[in-house]
Structure 1
Amino acid sequence: MDEFLQNMITYQVAMSTARRLVSLGIISEEEYREIDTIMAKKHGLSLDSIYRL
């Protein structure tokens, strides 16, 4: 599998989990945004990528 595609899938899975944690009230929106930034950097996405939600 292409490395970019693998990174995108892994990023989306991580963010799906984080969104679920927000919906359950386990983490805040601010914590979600922090996680998003960390995961984007870890998976090679620019901070203004169209693939980020």
Structure 2
Amino acid sequence: MTQQQFQREKNYRVSIAIAKVMISRKLITAQEYSKIDSMLVTRYRPVFGGL
């Protein structure tokens, strides 16, 4: 894994962790979470996170 791939993976995982907190606190719906996840995968192109 290159440094750039690592950074993209890290940024994706941090962002998705925030979204998970938001869904657990009922600040967003499951549908919104799914949309956020799709947007993050497109933005960060994680090596493992989008699997």
More helix per residue: 1 or 2?
2
How far the C-alpha of 1:21 sits from its partner, in A, is 0.2
- TM-score (norm. length: structure 1): 0.82
Cα RMSD of the aligned pairs, angstroms, is: 1.9
- TM-score (norm. length: structure 2): 0.85
Q: Which has the higher contact order (CA 8 A, sep 6+)?
A: 2
Return structure 1 stretches of 4+ with deviation > 6 angstroms: none
Whole-angstrom distance in 2 between the partners of 1:3 and 1:50: 14
Q: Gaps (5+ residues) in structure 2?
A: none
State how many pairs are aligned.
Answer: 50
Aligned to 1:51: 49
